[in-house]
């Protein structure tokens, strides 16, 4: 498939849902009775069945599940059979991807795997193959049309975390316990209803500004504020080295150990034509945005209003949101993101009880390799050193130490690169 077309398909948001009042959603769903196994057994339709019919249904359900479970366990516990299934799956994927070669760009053919059968005719494998062919369901197979919906994996498809990361102090106000297919409310905790909102953060692709790529995914409580969510976003702009200037105002170096007290740490979030500022004294980012919009031509001027409440005093349950609708975020001067609401739902017994906002996904950071050894990730950028052949030159720590100090330290500047330390630190952090 054409690379640009494939990437463009990943950027489609929507269609957006109808506006959802989060507070109203919580109120209405809190009155809905959760169906349990006891409710099914007491349902009039079940009671109308005869004892023989109910026994037959119960036997069919329990027997089918037990048979399916036993079959799956027998297959995956046999290394030869499970390896055969993995190989057949690779064969099917390779064949389906081969169908898309005609749509791929010239000179960029996908590599086909040579997975010809090699002594796979043992009795166990033959019996398994006959069993699979006897299954009347055919929609699970990879047909020719499946290639239209397949692509190779990208960096944004991988998750840097092996488990959910807790980035805040939010707690579920309603705690559920799963006992015998029923949900029992813990009487020791308050019963204020709450909801979980899943949001995905997208960035612009640096080399194609019209394309977006997923950066992270978060789960927040409806009772939390917009500021709680924005503080949980891990962004390289929040870890940029700070300039060190002399008395004359010239840049003499950079440091990651100190933070500028007057740096551009403001932020704003534009939701449904309402901009929420950070509430800093004087002119905040929201005021600057309105000032910029007012200078646009009348026909290109969007209708935007400023919220009277800042990010730290605006909770999600007071908002009206649309699923699959991108909302614009700006912080750290000119760093922008796009926030997409994926789902709004009630808490589940399997949800963590504390640590919200939760970080569900983080795209692994891609580090530049050292220009000297081409093996280790670069950690510094050296500017003005004629020995390196290019300026700036990205180097790792060992290569820079092996190079030694330059003859003229005043003409050489060493800039530390973003180390992504916040990605692995516990808890929240700075915006």
Residue 222: band (very low, low, confident or very high) from pLDDT cuts 50, 70, 90: very high
> What's the CA gap between 133 and 74, in Å, rounded?
18
The string of pLDDT tens digits covering residues 64-73 is 677 778 888 8
Tokens 């081409």 correspond to 374
pLDDT at position 403? 87
The pairing of beta strand 208-221 with beta strand 196-205: antiparallel
Residue 135: band (very low, low, confident or very high) from pLDDT cuts 50, 70, 90: confident
Angle between helices 79-99 and 123-133 in degrees, nearest 10? 50
Q: Average pLDDT for residues 242-246, to the nearest whole number? A: 77
Residue 227: band (very low, low, confident or very high) from pLDDT cuts 50, 70, 90: very high
**Tokens standing for 376?**
């280790």
Top-confidence residue, 218 or 408 = 218
Q: Average pLDDT for residues 354-380, to the nearest whole number? A: 91
pLDDT at position 219? 96
Tokens 């950027």 correspond to 11
Q: How many CA atoms lie within 13 A of 141 on its CB side?
A: 9
pLDDT at position 321? 96
The string of pLDDT tens digits covering residues 6-28 is 555 566 677 899 999 999 999 88
> Can you give the C-alpha Rg of the chain in angstroms?
28
> What's the CA gap between 85 and 69, in Å, rounded?
17
Q: Which phi and psi angles does 397 have, rounded to 5°?
A: -60, -50
Residue 344 near residue 20 (C-beta atoms within 8 A): yes
pLDDT at position 220? 96
Residue 399 near residue 388 (C-beta atoms within 8 A): no
Residue 399 near residue 373 (C-beta atoms within 8 A): yes
Top-confidence residue, 327 or 154 = 327
Q: Average pLDDT for residues 77-106, to the nearest whole number? A: 74
The string of pLDDT tens digits covering residues 317-347 is 999 999 999 999 999 888 899 999 999 999 9
Q: Which phi and psi angles does 166 have, rounded to 5°?
A: -90, 125
Residue 370, pLDDT > 70, answer yes
Q: Average pLDDT for residues 119-135, to the nearest whole number? A: 77
pLDDT at position 43? 82
Q: Which phi and psi angles does 415 have, rounded to 5°?
A: -110, 120
Residue 183, pLDDT > 50, answer no
> Domain locations in the chain?
3-153, 157-365, 367-431
Least confident of 249-258, 296-305, 326-335, 422-431: 422-431
Residue 388: band (very low, low, confident or very high) from pLDDT cuts 50, 70, 90: confident
Does domain 157-365 bear CATH number 3.10.290? yes
pLDDT at position 197? 96
Question: DSSP states of 160-207 as a string?
Answer: S-SSPEEEEEEE-SS-EEEETTEEEE-TTS------EEEEEEEEEETT
> What's the CA gap between 289 and 328, in Å, rounded?
12
pLDDT at position 307? 92
Q: Which DSSP category does 376 fall into?
A: S
pLDDT at position 105? 46
Question: Residue 329 burial by CB count (10 A; 0-12/13-18/19+): exposed, middle or buried?
Answer: buried
Q: Which DSSP category does 409 fall into?
A: G
Top-confidence residue, 267 or 280 = 267
Top-confidence residue, 340 or 42 = 340
Top-confidence residue, 189 or 99 = 99
Q: Which DSSP category does 288 fall into?
A: H
Residue 249: band (very low, low, confident or very high) from pLDDT cuts 50, 70, 90: confident
The pairing of beta strand 354-362 with beta strand 165-171: antiparallel
Residue 113, pLDDT > 60, answer no
pLDDT at position 317? 93
Residue 422: band (very low, low, confident or very high) from pLDDT cuts 50, 70, 90: low
Residue 378 near residue 394 (C-beta atoms within 8 A): yes
pLDDT at position 261? 43
Closest by alpha carbon to 382, among 373, 371, 259, 374?
Answer: 371
Give residue 315's Cα distance to chain centre: 22
- Beta partners for residue 340, in sequence order: 200, 326
CA dihedral (180, 183, 184, 188) positive or negative:
positive
Residue 406 near residue 414 (C-beta atoms within 8 A): no
Residue 341 near residue 199 (C-beta atoms within 8 A): yes
């Amino acid at each position: 498939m054409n690379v640009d077309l494939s990437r463009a398909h990943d950027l489609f948001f929507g269609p957006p849902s109808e506006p959802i009042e989060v507070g109203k959603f919580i109120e209405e769903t809190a009155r809905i009775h959760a169906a349990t196994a006891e409710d099914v057994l007491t349902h009039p339709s079940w009671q109308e069945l005869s004892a023989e019919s109910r026994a037959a249904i119960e036997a069919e359900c329990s027997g089918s599940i037990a048979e399916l479970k036993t079959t799956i366990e027998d297959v995956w516990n046999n290394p030869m059979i499970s390896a055969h299934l993995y190989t057949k799956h690779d064969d099917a994927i390779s064949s389906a991807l081969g169908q898309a070669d005609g749509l791929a760009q010239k000179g960029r053919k996908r590599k086909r795997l040579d997975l010809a059968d090699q002594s796979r005719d043992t009795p166990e494998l033959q019996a398994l193959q006959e069993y699979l062919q006897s299954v009347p369901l055919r929609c699970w197979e990879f047909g020719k049309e499946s290639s239209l919906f397949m692509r190779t994996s990208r960096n944004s498809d991988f998750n840097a975390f092996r488990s959910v990361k807790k980035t805040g102090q939010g707690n579920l106000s309603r705690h559920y316990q799963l006992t015998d297919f029923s949900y029992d409310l813990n009487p020791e905790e308050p019963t204020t209803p709450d909801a979980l909102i899943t949001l995905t953060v997208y960035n612009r692709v640096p080399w194609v500004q019209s394309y977006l790529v997923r950066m992270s995914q978060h789960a927040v409580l409806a009772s939390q504020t917009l500021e709680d969510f924005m503080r949980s976003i891990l962004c390289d702009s929040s870890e940029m080295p700070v300039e060190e200037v002399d008395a004359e105002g010239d840049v003499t170096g950079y440091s990651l150990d100190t933070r500028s007290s007057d740096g551009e740490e403001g932020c704003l979030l534009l939701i449904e034509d309402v901009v929420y500022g950070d509430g800093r004294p004087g002119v905040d980012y929201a005021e600057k945005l309105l000032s910029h919009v007012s200078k646009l031509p009348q026909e290109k001027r969007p209708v935007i209003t400023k919220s009277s409440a800042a990010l730290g005093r605006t909770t999600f349950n007071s908002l009206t949101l649309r699923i699959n609708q991108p909302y614009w975020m700006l912080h750290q001067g000119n760093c922008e993101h796009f926030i997409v609401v994926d789902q709004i739902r009630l808490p589940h017994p399997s949800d963590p009880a504390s640590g919200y906002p939760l970080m569900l996904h983080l795209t692994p950071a891609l580090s530049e390799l050292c220009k000297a050894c081409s093996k280790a990730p670069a950690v510094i950028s050296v500017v003005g050193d004629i020995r390196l052949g290019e300026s700036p030159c990205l180097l790792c720590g060992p290569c820079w130490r092996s190079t030694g100090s330059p003859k003229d330290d005043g003409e050489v500047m060493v800039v530390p690169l973003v180390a992504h330390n916040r990605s692995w630190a516990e808890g929240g952090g700075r915006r």
